């Protein structure tokens, strides 16, 4: 069975075609700058690459590019679209409506649309992706939606209710939802597998550290707390996002700078974090290089990131009543061993002990344990694979 996984953004559409017999990636690519000038890149598992500038006015036109590439003589990986058994879509916000993956129906689309106020850019784009898929693939190919928020739906009220007047929860569903759930789910299950234990018996903290970052506490196989909130702005500092702040910072700067809510939103989401502190870049590699070259603000940005990670791990250890395993994943978590080293050495007081040599080797897709044999806490680096989770959920639902 071959499954197409789609991650539709407002101006981009990433895809992977996965052969579920061995879970190999047959082809993957990205339609970028949809509705602007358009760029399309497609690569196959056996190393063929096709890249072109092409106008894509909307998501349907992007889907046509994907379809043509998948069945093309030179860059194709299937003979006809009939070989695609199902399509799985990543959806950012499932709100309180969706606590697990489901097959797409008109009601499901309406549900995702009803959550647009909670994730205006993301959910609107996902709906466009689903409808475009329906137009190009027809209604014989089942579609499944997998939600970033679903894994966090087990959080207790005390972790997800904000201490603002309760009526805002009732009126607008303002609460902590959490994101990157598909990634936290993948790495937590994989970690349990590597430990040879049942996830239900492991107190685990998973650190998804990328351009966007979130940290999750897992107990009895369930999420008990996570750092992102109503939106993916909360939690630890990120590439361009602030993470948690004293809310008065927002009202104070808005008043001083006469910023509208929209301008403030842009400042908090696009101009802050690594970029805002360092003034160098939102990319960890650039900021780390600048810090090593003596840039004090870049060094400060790195210090803040490592301090934030440390604080979350410390507080979640208290929430869990101890921790058996810590997992690092995503671009920074999988590659920037210097941050892992700083954080883990600071956790030595609670029995965390990493093997520095192993830590330095665990980069660029390597998976494994980086803690020393006598560490009281197992520490793992596990490359995330959200697409595979989406493909597995899709297969499970369409073969039910």
Q: Which residues bind ligand AMP (CB under 6 A)?
A: 210-211, 239, 283-285, 330-332, 335-336, 364
Compare residues 28 and 197 and give the one whose CB is closer to ligand AMP: 28
Q: Is 198 left (phi over 0), alpha (psi -120 to 50) or beta?
A: beta
Compare residues 99 and 338 and give the one whose CB is closer to ligand AMP: 338
Query: How many Å apart are CA 313 and CA 333, to the nearest integer?
Result: 14
Shortest distance in whole angstroms from residue 283 CB to ligand AMP:
4
Shortest distance in whole angstroms from residue 192 CB to ligand AMP:
22
Shortest distance in whole angstroms from residue 287 CB to ligand AMP:
8
Compare residues 278 and 335 and give the one whose CB is closer to ligand AMP: 335
Compare residues 184 and 203 and give the one whose CB is closer to ligand AMP: 184
Residue nearest ligand AMP by beta-carbon distance: 331
Shortest distance in whole angstroms from residue 239 CB to ligand AMP:
6
Compare residues 265 and 283 and give the one whose CB is closer to ligand AMP: 283
Query: How many Å apart are CA 26 and CA 4, to the nearest integer?
Result: 10
Shortest distance in whole angstroms from residue 286 CB to ligand AMP:
7
Active site residue 225: no
Neighbours of 110 (CB within 10 A): 11
Shortest distance in whole angstroms from residue 300 CB to ligand AMP:
16
Please say whether the beta carbons of 27 and 77 come within 8 A. yes
Q: Which distant-in-sequence residues (6+ apart) come within 8 Å of 177 by Cβ?
A: 93, 94, 95, 118, 149, 152, 160, 228, 229, 230
Shortest distance in whole angstroms from residue 337 CB to ligand AMP:
10
At 218, list the tokens: 């897992």
Compare residues 223 and 332 and give the one whose CB is closer to ligand AMP: 332
Compare residues 249 and 363 and give the one whose CB is closer to ligand AMP: 363
Shortest distance in whole angstroms from residue 365 CB to ligand AMP:
9
At 258, list the tokens: 């006469």
- Residue 123, CA atoms < 13 Å, CB-side half-sphere: 20
Compare residues 364 and 400 and give the one whose CB is closer to ligand AMP: 364
Q: Among the options 53, 107, 148, 374, which is catalytic?
A: 148
The catalytic site residues sit at 148
């Amino acid at each position: 069975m071959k499954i197409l996984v789609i991650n539709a953004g407002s101006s981009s559409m990433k895809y992977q075609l996965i052969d579920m017999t061995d879970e190999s990636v047959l082809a993957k690519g990205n339609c970028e700058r949809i509705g602007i000038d358009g760029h399309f890149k497609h690569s196959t598992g056996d190393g063929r690459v096709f890249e072109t500038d092409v106008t894509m006015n909307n998501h349907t036109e992007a889907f046509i590019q994907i379809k043509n590439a998948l069945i093309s003589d030179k860059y194709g990986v299937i003979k006809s679209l009939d070989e695609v058994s199902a399509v799985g879509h990543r959806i950012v916000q499932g709100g309180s409506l969706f606590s697990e993956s489901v097959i797409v129906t008109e009601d499901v689309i309406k549900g995702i649309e009803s959550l647009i106020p909670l994730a205006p850019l993301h959910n609107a784009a996902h709906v466009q992706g689903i409808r475009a898929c329906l137009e190009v693939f027809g209604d014989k190919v089942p579609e499944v939606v997998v939600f970033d928020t679903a894994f966090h739906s087990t959080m207790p009220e005390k972790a997800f209710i904000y201490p603002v007047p309760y009526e805002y929860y009732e009126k607008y569903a303002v609460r902590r939802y959490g994101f990157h759930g598909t990634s936290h789910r993948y790495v937590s299950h994989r970690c349990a597998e590597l430990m040879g234990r049942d996830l239900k018996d492991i107190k685990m903290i998973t650190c998804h550290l990328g351009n966007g970052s979130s940290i999750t506490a897992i107990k009895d196989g369930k999420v008990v707390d996570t750092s992102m909130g109503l939106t993916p702005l909360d939690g630890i500092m990120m590439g361009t996002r602030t993470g948690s702040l004293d809310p008065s910072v927002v009202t104070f700067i808005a008043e001083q700078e006469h910023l509208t809510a929209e301008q403030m939103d842009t400042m908090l989401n696009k101009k802050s974090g690594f970029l805002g502190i360092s003034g160098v870049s939102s990319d960890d590699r650039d900021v780390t290089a600048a810090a090593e070259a003596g840039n004090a603000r870049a060094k400060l940005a790195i210090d803040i990131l490592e301090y934030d990670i440390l604080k979350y791990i410390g507080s979640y250890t208290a929430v869990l009543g101890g921790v058996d395993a810590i997992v690092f994943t995503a671009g920074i978590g999988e590659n920037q061993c210097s941050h892992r080293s700083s954080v883990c050495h600071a956790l030595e007081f609670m029995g965390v002990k990493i093997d520095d040599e192993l830590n330095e080797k665990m980069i660029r897709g390597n998976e494994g344990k980086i803690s020393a044999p006598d560490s009281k806490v197992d520490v793992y680096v596990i490359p995330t694979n959200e697409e595979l989770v989406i493909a597995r959920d899709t297969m499970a639902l369409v073969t039910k």
